[in-house]
Amino acid sequence: MKENAVTGGRPLIGVSTYLDSSVSWGVWHLPAALLPAGYPRLVRAAGGLTAMVPPDDPAHAAEVVARLDGVVVAGGPDVAPERYGAAREDRTGPPAPERDAWELALIEAALSSGTPLLGICRGMQLMNVALGGTLIQHMDGHTEGIGAFGTHTVKPVPGTLYESIVPDASTDVPTYHHQAVDRLGRDLVVSAYAEDGTIEAVELPGPPWALGVQWHPEMGEDTRVMAALVRAAS
């Protein structure tokens, strides 16, 4: 039994991180595991505690997940198209093989153990790939430009987990992506769409609790999606 279930304390939410070969801060210029501050801020606002989970040996993923109450697979670089059997297109970003392997293992471990799982942007795309789905490698209109988040409207699918969390007829969300779900992975259902028809949220219909959103809730003020994960992790 995980400690949170015994103590009743705030659930520990593990958030995956970037792994960058060259980062500068202060007098230092070193490799670093990075997590934008919006993630722990959102987890804290939703009532949880944050643990950074940098890339590691995928064989250790189940051991790591066993010590967490919930898992967030964060946004980041494009998923390698080789992971879903596609040829690389010109506008697909450079690969991040360590992160792909580690986060796919985290997803598998979370689903196998029933640990609540939230995928954000890349994390949602990886959930789809982990379950045998594919991705659109490039699309326009879901950013404001390089390094600038955009905003667009998403609409929930009635009767879904996402609609139970965010029952608004439509919600404006912060967005920054140029890839999206193409063929849906096994057992996943679509739970929100953008106005242009892009799949904006996916979920598994029964236990385990697993939801992916294409936007970036850590860049906004709406805590409802993260709060739902924290409740599930409690």
**CA nearest neighbour of 228 among 58, 66, 47:** 47
The verdict on whether 203 is a catalytic residue reads no
Whether residue 218 lies in the annotated active site: yes
CA atoms of 131 and 205, how far apart (whole Å): 14
Marked catalytic residue, from 142, 152, 177, 216: 216
144 is an active site residue? no
pLDDT tens-digit profile of 79-112?
999 999 999 999 898 999 999 999 999 999 999 9
DSSP sequence for 148-166: --EEEEEEEPTTSHHHHH-
Q: Report which of 72, 138, 136 is spatially closest to residue 110, judged by C-alpha positions.
A: 72
pLDDT at 3: 52
Q: Which pLDDT tens digit goes with each residue over 173-229?
A: 999 889 999 999 999 999 999 999 999 999 999 889 999 999 999 999 999 999 999
**Residue 136 φ/ψ, nearest 5 degrees:** -80, 125
Tens of pLDDT, residues 5-22? 444 699 999 999 999 999
Beta-strand relationship, 70-73 and 117-120: parallel
Alpha helices in the chain (DSSP H): 3-7, 38-45, 61-65, 97-113, 122-130, 161-165, 224-233
| Distance of alpha carbon 118 from alpha carbon 213, whole angstroms | 8
Residue 141 has pLDDT above 70, yes or no: no
Residue of 121, 163, 177, 203 marked catalytic: 121
